Amino acid sequence: MNAAGGPGERRRLIVEADGGSRGNPGPAGFGALVRDARTGEVLAERAEHLGHTTNNVAEYSGLVAGLRAAAAIDPEAEVEVRLDSRLVVEQMSGAWQIKHTEMRRLADLARAVLPADRVTYTWVPRAQNAAADALANEAMDTARSIARDLAPRGAGAALSGEEGAPGAPVSGRGRRPSGAAPRFDDAEPVTVVFLRHGETSMTAAGGYSGSSEPGPPLSPHGRQQAAAAAELIERVGRDLWGDIPYPTEIIASPMVRTQETAAVVADRLGLPVRVMELVKEADFGEWQGLTAREIEDRWPGMLEPWHTRADVRPPGGESIEDVGRRIEQVFAELLAGGVDRTVVVVSHAVSIRAAVGVAMGAQPSSWSRLRVAPASVSIVRLFEDGRTEVAVAGAPSEGWARGR
C-alpha cells in the first residue's frame, strides 16, 4: 500500500509555487512547497534568491523547483500545481503560447520533471498561495536559499541522504549529493565559481600576459567561449550542481579580457560586476608579452623553477606563492561576506591554479600541474571552520577548451 491509501493507487501531492521581482525586472526570488494531498502536511520547502530578473521568470523558477521537490519525494506521484499566476497556468496547460526565451526554457525544464499526464495546473487567488509567497519573500529578504525536506508527523527524522550513506546529513539545501566531500554537520559554505577568461590573441600565441598591462581583448573565438561559459554558469543551482545556490554576485579582475568575459556572464545572469584587484593575473614583470621560448632565451633556466619551485620571481614580477597569498585574502573576504551563497569570480590561469591549490592544501610547487583552459570553470567551496571542497568541473567539450 502506498501513501495514497490503497493498493495500486498513486500518491497525490500538491505543489504550491510563487515568484516575485521587486521592480520587475529587479531583485527576484521564488518559493515552492510540496504538500501531501490527503493530510495537507508540508513535505518539502524550496526558495531561492535569483538576482535580477522578472516576475514571470521567478514564477517559472518556483514551478520547476516545486516539481523537482515533488518528484524527489515520489517520482510516481500525481501532482496538482497551484499558482496565483494565470499566465503560467494557462501556458503550462497549453492554452497560451510561450514567446519569452527564458520562460520557454524553464517551461521545458518543468515538463521534463514528470510525465504530462500526471501533472495538472490550477489557478488560485493570491490569498490561497500565501505560504509559497512567504518563502519567496524570505529568499529575497535574506538573499539565501532554502531547501527543507520535512518528514510527516509520526514518520521519524527528517528525510536525509541515502540510507547508510556517510556524510549525507540534512543541510540548508537538503542532503549532500553523491560524491560530495563528507561532512557530519549542517554547515553551509560560500561557493566560488572560478571562470577563466576566454581566448585572446596572446592566449593563442602562447604569450605570458600578466597584470602589469590591461592586456588584449577577447578574440572572436574567446567571445564564443565566454557565451558558452555563461550558459553553463546560468545552470548552476538549477539543473546543474543542484545543491549549490544560484549565483548572486560576479567579481572580475580588472584586465580587459576578464571584464569582457564577466560582462557576458553578467548579461546572462542579470547581475552587476564588481572589480577586485586581488584576483588579477600574476605580474610577469619583464616577461610580459613574451613566449616561453623568448623567456628562456633571455633568462636561461629561470622559467621552469618559476613554475616548479613557485618561490621564484621574474624580474619585476610575482612568484606563484605571491599569487597564492593574494588568493588567501580573497577567500577570507568572501567568507566574511556570508555563507550559503554562490559568487562567480572571473580570473586567470595562474590565479585559478592558486585558488584550487590553496583550497586543496597542496604545495605551491604543484599548482602548475593544474590545467586551466580558456573559459573553463573550477568550483571551490569554503566553510567557516577552514575546511574546503573542490568540485570537479571544467569545459563541456574539447572544442570549448581550445587554446593554451
Asked if 80 and 14 count as a contact pair (C-beta separation under 8 A), the reply is: yes
- Annotation says 52 is catalytic: no
**Dihedral sign, CA of 249, 254, 256, 258?**
negative
User: 49, 197, 221, 348: which is the annotated catalytic residue?
Assistant: 197
Catalytic status, residue 197: yes
Do residues 390 and 378 lie in contact, with contact meaning Cβ atoms separated by under 8 Å?
Answer: yes
Three-class HEC string of 202-265: HHHHCECCCCCCCCCCECHHHHHHHHHHHHHHHCECCCECCCCCCEEEEEECCCHHHHHHHHHH
Distance between CA 88 and CA 18 in Å, rounded? 10
What sign does the dihedral 261-267-269-271 (CA atoms) show?
A: positive
As a whole number of angstroms, the distance between CA 299 and CA 246 comes to: 46
Q: Closest Cα to residue 13, out of 105, 172, 110, 120?
A: 120
Q: What is the DSSP letter of 9?
A: P
Q: Report d(CA 151, CA 43) in Å as an integer.
A: 6
Helix (H, G, I), strand (E, B) or coil at 26: strand
Angle between helices 130-142 and 55-73 (to 10 degrees): 110
102-127: string of b/e by CB count within 10 Å (b at 16+)?
A: bbebbbebbeebbeeebbebebeeee
Q: Catalogue the long-range contacts made by 176-180 (C-beta closer than 8 Å, 24 or more residues apart).
A: 176/243, 177/242, 177/243, 180/243, 180/389
281, 318, 348, 389: which is the annotated catalytic residue?
A: 281
Residue with cell 487567488: 125
Query: Could you give the CA distance from residue 234 to residue 236 in angstroms, rounded to a whole number?
Result: 6
266's CB contacts (< 8 A; 6+ apart) are 250, 272, 273
- Separation CA 156–CA 315 (nearest Å): 65
Coil vs helix vs strand at 351: helix
> Which amino acids are annotated catalytic?
197, 281
